Each structure stands twice: as structure tokens, then as C-alpha cells.
Amino acid sequence: MTPEQKRQPDEKRPIIPRRENQNMKNKIAFVAVGQAGGNIGQLFEDRGFNVLYINTSQEDLDTLEHAKYKYHIPGGEGCNKNRRKAKQLVIDDFDRIAAEIETKIKADLTFVIFASGGGTGSGAGPMLIDLLIDEGRAIGAITIVPGQNESVKAHINSYDCFSELTEIAGTAACFILDNDRAEKLSINTSFVDDFCSFLEVPEKHKSVKGNIDKAEIMETLSAHGMALVTSRKAQNSAETIKAIQDNPYAPIEGDRAVKYITASLSDGVTMPELEKAIGTPIDTFQTFNDEGITICCISGLTYPQSRLDIVYKKVDENKEVIEKNLTATRETRMKKSINFLDDLEPPKKAAEAPKPKSKRDIMSKYL
């Protein structure tokens, strides 16, 4: 990393160095953490992308049969939904993890993939993103919200994970898959299919009326905030809007901001109609195709507060039961509790804390 590529402290967005004439498969890569991360990472690797799998569990890594780059964090035996354990393992081994990423993942934009409801990916994901951004890399996130039928522990982890993730100012696009919306594995496939279709737009969809180039795809994916991508057959704008609403992502907020709408439009679908339904973006990039499919990526969206409120509600509703269960084994600690969630995870520093100066400072924010 050259000094010029290092982020300045006041920059809100990651720098995306231009590597012209590169295939998207060299521009974008993935670091897949934990089991869900690994499952999605495999689908990207099958499509020819570079993926590094990181896990605290050798058993989880062993399930990835055709993975090229796997890294087992030494001493890790899985984190059994314990985020703290995962964080400590990453902190103790960070130099080697960073070296692994540096040698295996050479891309302009890297997405860290992890579930928010488990231990390894949820604990390691946000901290890893923060540390990698600090090294001057452009980093986005692909994460998963647990379904409402999942355990309270998954919800506690998810809430804490999003509290950390949404505090990181320099992240690129953050795709939030929602396990409430469909079956897990079909969510994985439909997301990866749609994401890959979007990356192929510059090569496959060319129109005299307008083109989308690779720089515009990268610009869309570099926007901070929530993002979603769909690729569906659509004969008119209403069908595309329905596809966006029916997608397996966390729902778009009612009162939202939006930065980019980038789309290859089929006949009958228009950008003004999409803007009317989605919101006025800062910029749009569009091309057209005669395949009857509209591929659309919306980025720079507000994080899904209402969905995260549902996650919080499930924790809050079960507060008494959990407290009762925990007091049976940890009586003294729970009696001292003032704030329920703070007691389950260590307190976070105040939002106005000064910008961290070193890796140690960043790590200590997460403990």
C-alpha cells in the first residue's frame, strides 16, 4: 500500500484505486468469515472470484470442499455464538490474518461476508472491516439478519453486530440479507446470481442510448450505506419495483436517503419511474437491454432501522427469561446490571470518542 493510497483521517469514503482494463473478477474479491460467510463465499468462488475463507472452526472450513484459500485462526475451536471469543482470537492473530489477506486478496474493493447472528463472523466481521479500512483498503460488507424464529442469542449477537457495523464511517456498500424473507440457501444463491449479473452489465449490455462502465459499477458499490441488487424479468417499472420490494434483503426504510440507482433497463422500465418509487438519488447510471430483464443496484441507502428495531424487540421481550436463566449461574453479575444489553456485551465507547490512532485503539473499541 503506497502512502498516497492511505486514507486521510477525515475522509468518509474509501479510496478505490483505478486498475483499468481489469475484469470485474480482479477488481472485486471476498473475505468470507464464519460458516454463512463461507457458504456465500463458495458461490462467488464458483463464479471465478477470489475468496479467502477465515474461520475459528477447522470443521467449518473442512465443509468448504473446493476452496482455494482457507485460513484457520490458531487456537480457535469455533465460537459457539460467542462474539467476544471471536474478537479475542482475531486480535491475538491479527498480524497473520492481515498478511493472509494482503497476499491472497488483491482487489480494488473487498467485501467481508459474515452472518450477524453467529459468533465467529458476527464478532470478527465489523472489527476486521474497521482494521482493513484503516490499512487503506476499500471494504464493503455482505451480512445476514437472523430470521425472527431464530434464537434470542442470535438476535442479541445481531443487534450488537449492527451496532458496531453501522458506526464504521468508511465502509463501502453493505448488503443486508434477511433470513426472514426466504430459505437461507436460496437467499445465498439469489443474492450471488443478482450480484454477478450486475457486475456483468458493462460487458454484456451495451446500448447506443447509454452504457454503464466499470467505473460506474465501482462507484455504485463504493457508496456508504445499505445496498441491494436485483435482476428480474420485468415488462414495466411496477414489476421492477415489486421485485425490489420482494427481494431477500432487509426492507428499505420508509424515510430513506438514496445515493445511486444503477440499472440496465428492459423495455417498458424507466429510470424516472424507479426514482419516483425509490427516492431521488444523487446520481443514476443506466443502460438498456432487449432481454426483458432489469438489473438494478441501489446504494447509499439508509440502514434498515425498522428491521433492526424488530431484532431489538425480540431481545427486549425475552429479557426477563434470559436474566432469570443467566442469574442461575451468574447471580452477582446480573444483579449489578443496569443496562440489559450492555451487560451481555461490554460497554462501547461514547460515539464522540476521538478517532483511533493505532490498530490497538481500534481493537480495544470492540472489547
Sites of contact with ligand GTP (CB under 6 A): 34-36, 39, 56, 60, 78-81, 115, 117-121, 144, 146, 150, 154, 177, 179, 184-185, 187-188
Percent helix, strand and coil across the chain, each to the nearest 5 = 45, 20, 40
35 sits near Mg ion (criterion: CB under 5 A)? yes
Output the CA–CA distances (angstroms, integers) from residue 161 to 33, 134, 141, 314, in the order listed. 14, 19, 12, 15
Got the DSSP string for 36-62? HHHHHHHHHHHTT-EEEEEES-HHHHH
93 sits near Mg ion (criterion: CB under 5 A)? no
Q: Which does 128 bind (CB under 5 to 8 A by kind): ligand GTP, Mg ion, none?
A: none
Provide the 10 A C-beta neighbour count for residue 80. 13
Which residue of 14, 16, 50, 60 would you call a contact of Mg ion, by CB under 5 A?
A: 60
Q: Which does 80 bind (CB under 5 to 8 A by kind): ligand GTP, Mg ion, none?
A: ligand GTP
Nearer to ligand GTP, 114 or 285 (CB): 114
CB 343 within 8 A of CB 333: yes
CB of 88 to Mg ion, least distance (A): 16
CB of 55 to ligand GTP, least distance (A): 7
Q: Which does 177 bind (CB under 5 to 8 A by kind): Mg ion, ligand GTP, none?
A: ligand GTP
CB 116 within 8 A of CB 145: yes
**Site string (176-215) toward Mg ion, x via CB under 5 A:** ----------------------------------------
81 sits near Mg ion (criterion: CB under 5 A)? no
Q: Which does 154 bind (CB under 5 to 8 A by kind): Mg ion, ligand GTP, none?
A: ligand GTP
C-alpha cell at 224: 456508504
CB 257 within 8 A of CB 290: no
C-alpha cell at 272: 424516472
Nearer to ligand GTP, 143 or 289 (CB): 143
DSSP label of 3:
G
Binding site for Mg ion (CB under 5 A): 35, 60
